[in-house]
Structure 1
Amino acid sequence: MSPAPRTATVVFIFITVVLDVLALGVVIPVLPKLIEAFMGGNTARAAEINGLFSTAWALMQFVFSPLLGALSDRFGRRPVILISCLGLGLDYLLMALAPTLWWLFVGRVISGITAASFSTAGAYIADVTPQDKRAGAFGMIGAAWGLGFVVGPAVGGLLGGIDPRLPFWVAGALALANFGYGFFVLPESLPRERRSPRFSWQRANPLGALTLLRSHRELFGLAGVNALYWFAHYALPSTFVLYTGHRYGWNAQTVGLTLAAVGICNVIVQAGLVRRVVPAIGERNALLLGLAAGVAGFTVYGLAPTGFWFWAGLPVFAAMGFFGPALQALMTRHVSPQEQGQLQGANSSMSALVGLLAPGTFSLVFAASIDPAVGWHLPGAAMLLAAAVTLVALVLGARVTRRETA
């Protein structure tokens, strides 16, 4: 593929991911609060239910990410992305109308299924980008996530102050707009001659997809580092809103603006720095730099006595953005074009498998840390646990990538 079409297709998928993440970001500041409202204002109980919601979402990702990845290897990336965008838009509308907590739960389950298309977006990038440019391209996708979180949570926080259900309506409209955009302008990235010759349920099921990671020694080690990274990362979606509300008294607007600041920092790293820093220091060093920043950032979050000190940790934690592009660039080198979708699906399944345990773990740790009946008051315990897990990932990553470099 020539440079011009390759640049154009990266822009297309960038915009597609931005719109999807905008829809996701809009509901982040209000979903835990809506659960809390259904629970009669019981924050500790809402934290447990929010963890259950996150676990269900991760279970759907675990089951459906390899399925969508295998389908995209066989039938192309474009139809998988479009169908998922359409389903996501309709699901947000369902959540906007949810009359009970159970209906909200059903909507969250469907969201986990349709959001599994993000792994297909990763395969799309691998299709159209040469190996030596992939870290920068994956950085741009990470920047798309950050850009979505610049606007999405801020808008969600402001809209949530008007009506907690209004962000769901806006998210649905954004996701449906994304479907319309992709239908008319998103080209196919995987030519028929490069597709998998047949669809195999053996490759499409979660366990079958994970065997791909075991087939290459380097992939298996990197997958372990990635699993630890994702385990720690779940501390934020599982506890952030309730943690900052409990410790700093933040409302939906403050949470939304803070998440927007997180997005700005992320865009600076992923769009502005990854393309320059990774070629200069190498993928291995970029991966380790990202994990070291995660250890420092989580530690600041967990120990910050005031909201000001929490905000001071945002640029530190943002450097964790070097990890993902470096990891993806290393992993995609070890599979063929016909396996890129399976690889991305396996990665998503791995993170989702971890997500079956992590959200509940962090939610229970946070609930116990603020529960008077337990007797110990350490609101930042979940963040400190995430820092410890990331430190283990850093040590393992140094060992695995030393072998990788050799």
Structure 2
Amino acid sequence: MNRALLTILSTVVLSAIGIGLTMPIIPQLMRDVGHTTELGWRFGAFTGLYALMQFVFSPILGMLSDRYGRRPILLLSLAGAVVDYLFMAVAPSLSLLFVGRAIAGITGASMAVTSAYIADVTPEEQRSRRYGQLGACFGIGFIIGPVLGGLLGAWWVRAPFLAAAAMNALNLLLTLWLVKESHAGEESVERISFNPLASLRWALSFKALLPLLGVYVILVLVGEIGGTVWVLYGEDKFAWDALTIGLSLAGFGAFHALAQAFVVGPIAERWGERAALLIGIVSDGTAYVILALTVHGWVAFALMPLFCLGGIGAPALQSLVSGSVGPDQQGKLQGVMASTASLASVIGPVAISTIYFMSRGTFPGMVWIIGACLYLLCLPVLLRRA
């Protein structure tokens, strides 16, 4: 791996740690500054605001990186993140916390630029491997961040925000010193649009992209099932306590990182990206069906390797999609994908939680069966175009 890739992946780990640092203490901070014990709709709005900002700004940052280069947009995003975390560390009211959350969503949209950077410096046949490593690095940071955030938050509720600011400041310095420009920018790039739907229409104008983007939406929606109901399902179906839930999440994260870092690349390079995507979907769908039907908690742990083999699908698909456009449009394309994922991350949890609470009394595994059925919609696309 060359130094450019190693450096950019290191910045992803630091960014993920920064995001994860603040997660455990956000509810308590909202209660403190809002002078209330009931968050109600405010917490849902606070969570949704982040995804909404990513939906709007991911295509914009991606297009800006096509026009002006990846490096200046990454530096601007990291500098904005430092300011944002400092702002949230001292915010005296709930309304200002919402302002900070909006800024965090904007700066967090820089993952689209990072994905474009990887496409710039990686040969097409190796992109599945590199996107897998990108996902693994983000996963590692997301495991470390909440643990550190919980420890710091127990000392002072605002300490994780200061730590996140310091983490992003370090990230900014690393990027400034070590990350070289991968795309000089194109004056010929069309006018920057601030309408995310315009970027989506542009992506849909590529006939080869339309079915792949449909598969991508399904992958994101199905992926939201675990994040939304895993804890509830463990409590309701298997009577798990907090320790067991924590161990299951840690194990899931570790297996997932290993699969994305070391499995997706060899499979894609040997059998192709479509085969890797197909293996991921079949593995994940099979695990969903078994989890829905079992009554034994140990089976969920036994399924983790199968679940995490399912994680190779997303990097393979991202690599496949990136080959559909030229270097001067990678930022815009990655922005569209990040924006689409953010929108699905707003809609998905609402729909999934609604289905779960409607069916938990009769068949709590219904959401897993629905996820497996959604995966079936991808198979005709992949098999027909293989």
TM-score (norm 2): 0.86
For structure 1, which segment, 117-126 or 167-176, has the greater mean C-alpha deviation from structure 2 after superposition?
Answer: 167-176
**% identity of equivalent residues:** 35
After the TM superposition, which residues 3-402 of structure 1 pair with which residues of structure 2 at under 5 Å, given as runs?
A: 7-32=2-27, 46=40, 49-192=42-185, 195-202=186-193, 204-238=194-228, 248-250=240-242, 259-298=249-288, 310-365=300-355, 368=357, 377-378=360-361, 381=364, 384-385=366-367, 388-392=370-374, 394-402=375-383
Segments of 5+ residues of structure 2 without an aligned counterpart are: none
In 2, are the aligned partners of 1:156 and 1:256 still within 8 Å (CA)?
Answer: no
TM-align CA RMSD = 3.2
- Once the two structures are TM-superposed, the CA of residue 279 in structure 1 deviates from its matched residue by 1.9
For structure 1, which segment, 353-362 or 297-306, has the greater mean C-alpha deviation from structure 2 after superposition?
Answer: 297-306
Counterparts in 2 of 1:317 and 1:164: CA distance versus 1, 3 Å: farther
| Cα-to-partner distance string for 1:100-126 (whole Å, 9 max, x where unaligned) | 443333322221111000011111011
In 2, are the aligned partners of 1:157 and 1:255 still within 8 Å (CA)?
Answer: no
Q: Distance in 2 between matches of 1:178 and 1:242?
A: 35
Q: Secondary structure at the match of 2:24?
A: coil
Counterparts in 2 of 1:301 and 1:32: CA distance versus 1, 3 Å: farther
| Cα-to-partner distance string for 1:16-42 (whole Å, 9 max, x where unaligned) | 111111111223333356557769666
Q: Distance in 2 between matches of 1:213 and 1:139?
A: 23
Q: Distance in 2 between matches of 1:64 and 1:174?
A: 23
Counterparts in 2 of 1:65 and 1:230: CA distance versus 1, 3 Å: same
Counterparts in 2 of 1:74 and 1:380: CA distance versus 1, 3 Å: farther
Q: Distance in 1 between matches of 2:332 and 2:99?
A: 27
Q: Secondary structure at the match of 1:201?
A: coil
Q: Distance in 1 between matches of 2:295 and 2:153?
A: 27
Q: Distance in 2 between matches of 1:239 and 1:138?
A: 26
| Cα-to-partner distance string for 1:231-256 (whole Å, 9 max, x where unaligned) | 233345555567768864428xx776
- Once the two structures are TM-superposed, the CA of residue 349 in structure 1 deviates from its matched residue by 1.6
| Cα-to-partner distance string for 1:249-280 (whole Å, 9 max, x where unaligned) | 428xx776654433321221111112212223
Q: Distance in 1 between matches of 2:241 and 2:58?
A: 37
Counterparts in 2 of 1:316 and 1:95: CA distance versus 1, 3 Å: farther
Counterparts in 2 of 1:166 and 1:103: CA distance versus 1, 3 Å: same
Q: Distance in 2 between matches of 1:106 and 1:12?
A: 31
Counterparts in 2 of 1:168 and 1:334: CA distance versus 1, 3 Å: same
In 2, are the aligned partners of 1:82 and 1:182 still within 8 Å (CA)?
Answer: yes
In 2, are the aligned partners of 1:128 and 1:189 still within 8 Å (CA)?
Answer: yes
Letter in 2 for 1:184: W
Letter in 2 for 1:293: S
In 2, are the aligned partners of 1:59 and 1:355 still within 8 Å (CA)?
Answer: no
TM-score (norm 1): 0.82
Letter in 1 for 2:312: F
Aligned residues: 383
Q: Distance in 1 between matches of 2:220 and 2:67?
A: 28
In 2, are the aligned partners of 1:146 and 1:262 still within 8 Å (CA)?
Answer: no
Letter in 2 for 1:201: I
- Once the two structures are TM-superposed, the CA of residue 97 in structure 1 deviates from its matched residue by 3.3
Counterparts in 2 of 1:67 and 1:400: CA distance versus 1, 3 Å: same
Q: Distance in 2 between matches of 1:390 and 1:196?
A: 45
Q: Distance in 2 between matches of 1:303 and 1:165?
A: 43
